[in-house]
Structure 1
């Protein structure tokens, strides 16, 4: 099993804590705002800076920065600090211009994008003005997090989303009881989110400074690394922009469906379904993608080609070992999961029914979303950003065509299904074109690993299918008959199904000697020995 896969377990644990807080956040969001106009406006306004954050902070910027930082570190630590300082100052300048452009043009392009009533579009504009500052804090934080990751320090960078989620929860628990109007509530929430962004940046700056890796801020914009990073970023940013453009199209189409079907809550149901899917992809895919890049860079320095192939195969196998069960669970238990987390307040049975089908479709792509993150990181390790660009342009086209074809039959669920299919296409193309590098995609090794995992996957899927059709109605009816309310019944039922599911999968993995289970148990034993 690869070093990247091993290191990703610790990072996944910290990310898991963040995602649990995220589920609490989403529960309070659903109960407080439901799927109405205010919730839809917040969802759209938050997606816009989030799109740029995903493009820069969580992908292109940090992954393009890492190889250059490693190169500068070969010369001297001082050069690495000067280089990162020049990039930081230039980045701040570019981001300031971007925020200014958004402020100027939001009143013109947002009403066209979201449609609906004037009240709705005005609220989207108002919230965008507040939330767009997140792009500045998130992008600057990404540089400091990349510096820490390059030194194999993953703990404090992984705290970043935890800080933001704590700000959400503070507002829900401590402030919302004193604020009744929905408009006032969403404004207070937006300011708290931006405050969380600044706290995230402050923590990352402090950690880098504490470890004596702080960049030396300078205004030397002629530094060769600035040209290099933008040369690397441009194809990657264009590739990422295809994905972000597809999100914009998704927002437009979801708003169109919602305007055609008042009360459907298409925008919010898609948003909450996507957030649930981001739980496993964030915990597993992002963790592996983050840890594999430094590991591949170290092997590339020594030209250890067999080691690179092993790292990649190990990371992909471990991603599948964890994401396929997550996908099966999300697909078969979509309704109980939605009810357990969101039901109550302004979230009702109609909201759950609206979100079930998108969640099932998104679940199909969970393994592919995670694997694609790992593969794109691998391309970046070779400083190849052009191939992912071409592949993502193809996927973007497929996604748009599928959206426009399926939306007439599946309404908002078409958006989720199109995303899933395009993710599968992206995986196939990324795997095929990796052969242009000396490593190539480890198809044979991965197929052998999958064949070993196939029986545990089948056993888990069979149990979940049997439970959903035969046990679920009986358990739910019994819990209701003894006076337990619907929400608590859903949560108890979900707890009852998760435990045997995990047991079946882990025991069968041990019986069939699946590598992933040995990595998990070895890491757990090591932590017990340390304790």
Structure 2
């Protein structure tokens, strides 16, 4: 394995470890929300209201700002020095606060039409619609806080620090857990209590980043300018990435819009199922693409294209090696997993069945969603931001068309399946385009077939164990161990890379324990 592969594995291990903590807390949060809210009126209202600031977070924050900020910040620092780079970051933060502050004020005034645009089906239920409008007004300012956190993430990642940004979602989860329990314990409306918890979590996420920024030598005090050249350059790079992120988020919003016309609870079924799929995506899929982008960008900038191709192949191979068995396991154990995590309080057996069906449909597309992320990072590293956007537009149209066609016979499950099918199309187009651009084989067929065969074994074993009571839970580590053992026996490079990730994470944990 080359140095770049080891760097990607080491940094991915940091992100994956911190994200694992966040995802576990996220499941605790969802269990508490399922217990306190179930899948009814107030749950649907909160999920829709919280989705709006999340949309802007991904548009202005992780979706485009960070992608555009890191290369410009790094280049300014290298060419003009540390002070110029910090001045550029301060200037970017001022612009961000002004733009998002204006959007937030507009949202307070236009909350009613904004809610109607994202969930028009809620108009049939006046109580549901009015509650959603109120929650939109409370939740929306979160976008200012979380996009500021995203800019902090860009500064820290450029300094090769990944831990604090990856831990940031844990703070939000703790705030939401605490606010939900507070509301339930003292008899307040849990949806409103959690909406205020969103803002509290945003403040906590911002504060978490500050000690690490100071430790790296960064300070928010100092010169800045409305006309900073670095910010202008970043803005130009953001335009295509912003549009690409917008296409992806519109995809999600259209899914919510279509689900609002289905029976009450459909939005919540899709939400809980999506949360389960996002666990492996967040812990490993996002970790690998986050860690790969800086390495790919450096290699492309230096013109070391053979190393670039090798790093990309390793990233894709590792992503497939992790995501494919995860998808198989989720499909095989969909019912038991949903029941174990959510079947209590207001979350009925009918809700378990409906959510499990959505989970199976989402899990089909999990590997393709995961594989698309390093491919997009590869295009950005080559400073090609247009190709992913064009492909995203095509896949948006495909998702809408498939969603409309499938929701009639399959209800909310059809919407989840439409996402998976459009994700398959997205991966295929991205892979074909980048492979042609580089004239290289990015995903070796032999390794992919081995991964597929082993994953089918994991899925079959999981499915058979689903009827053995809680033995399915005890056997999960067995399937993982068997998968890794057989992969190592087959001498798969992806298995060795994954073990390097694990060893790197363990070594860091031991060092912290000794300290």
- Structure-1-length-normalised TM-score: 0.90
SS at match of 1:115: helix
2:433 counterpart of 1:433? yes
Report the Cα offset of residue 310 of structure 1: 1.1
Give the aligned length.
501
In structure 1, how many angstroms separate the alpha carbons of the residues matched to 2:125 and 2:449? Answer: 53
Report the Cα offset of residue 355 of structure 1: 1.0
Q: Which moved more, 1:52-61 or 1:104-113?
A: 104-113
In structure 1, how many angstroms separate the alpha carbons of the residues matched to 2:361 and 2:71? Answer: 36
Q: Which residue of 2 aligns with 1:388?
A: 388
2:420 counterpart of 1:442? no
Q: Structure 1 residues 248, 441: CA separation in 2 closer, same or farther (over 3 Å shift)?
A: farther
In structure 2, how many angstroms separate the alpha carbons of the residues matched to 1:522 and 1:89? Answer: 41
Give CA deviations for 1:489-522 in whole Å, capped at 9, x if unaligned: xxx3342231321122122112212223323434
Report the Cα offset of residue 217 of structure 1: 5.6
> Unmatched 5+ residue regions in structure 2?
none
SS at match of 1:257: coil
Report the Cα offset of residue 72 of structure 1: 0.4
> Unmatched 5+ residue regions in structure 1?
259-263, 477-491
Give CA deviations for 1:427-464 in whole Å, capped at 9, x if unaligned: 11111222464x35633x53232133333223223323
In structure 2, how many angstroms separate the alpha carbons of the residues matched to 1:266 and 1:523? Answer: 38
In structure 2, how many angstroms separate the alpha carbons of the residues matched to 1:225 and 1:446? Answer: 39
Report the Cα offset of residue 272 of structure 1: 0.6
2:98 counterpart of 1:93? yes
2:179 counterpart of 1:171? yes
Which of the numbers 45, 68, 71 marks the counterpart of 2:75?
71
In structure 1, how many angstroms separate the alpha carbons of the residues matched to 2:210 and 2:232? Answer: 24
In structure 2, how many angstroms separate the alpha carbons of the residues matched to 1:467 and 1:412? Answer: 27
Q: Structure 1 residues 503, 128: CA separation in 2 closer, same or farther (over 3 Å shift)?
A: same
In structure 1, how many angstroms separate the alpha carbons of the residues matched to 2:337 and 2:495? Answer: 25
In structure 1, how many angstroms separate the alpha carbons of the residues matched to 2:199 and 2:379? Answer: 33
Which of the numbers 20, 26, 29 marks the counterpart of 2:30?
26
Give CA deviations for 1:181-219 in whole Å, capped at 9, x if unaligned: 4xx222121112211101111221332122102355655
Q: Tell me how large the CA RMSD over aligned residues is.
A: 1.9
2:494 counterpart of 1:516? yes
Contact in 1 for aligned 2:9/2:501 (Cα 8 Å): no
Q: Which residue of 2 aligns with 1:107?
A: 112
Which of the numbers 192, 199, 217 marks the counterpart of 1:194?
199
SS at match of 1:408: helix
Contact in 1 for aligned 2:357/2:413 (Cα 8 Å): yes
Q: Which residue of 1 aligns with 2:420?
A: 420
Q: Which residue of 1 aligns with 2:453?
A: 455
SS at match of 2:431: helix
In structure 2, how many angstroms separate the alpha carbons of the residues matched to 1:135 and 1:218? Answer: 25
Contact in 1 for aligned 2:184/2:190 (Cα 8 Å): no
2:217 counterpart of 1:209? no
Contact in 2 for aligned 1:81/1:216 (Cα 8 Å): no
In structure 2, how many angstroms separate the alpha carbons of the residues matched to 1:72 and 1:215? Answer: 17
- Structure-2-length-normalised TM-score: 0.93
Give CA deviations for 1:79-127 in whole Å, capped at 9, x if unaligned: 1111111111111111111111211212123135333322111110110
Q: Output aligned runs, 1:46-85, within 5 Å.
A: 46-75=50-79, 76-85=81-90
2:121 counterpart of 1:122? no
Report the Cα offset of residue 234 of structure 1: 1.2
2:14 counterpart of 1:14? no
Report the Cα offset of residue 413 of structure 1: 1.0
SS at match of 1:367: helix
Which of the numbers 229, 232, 236 marks the counterpart of 1:231?
236
Give CA deviations for 1:349-398 in whole Å, capped at 9, x if unaligned: 01011112111010011111111111112222222221111110000000
Q: Which residue of 1 aligns with 2:326?
A: 326
2:169 counterpart of 1:161? yes
Which of the numbers 182, 187, 191 marks the counterpart of 1:180?
187
In structure 2, how many angstroms separate the alpha carbons of the residues matched to 1:456 and 1:434? Answer: 27
Give CA deviations for 1:111-165 in whole Å, capped at 9, x if unaligned: 3533332211111011011111111111111111111111111111111011111
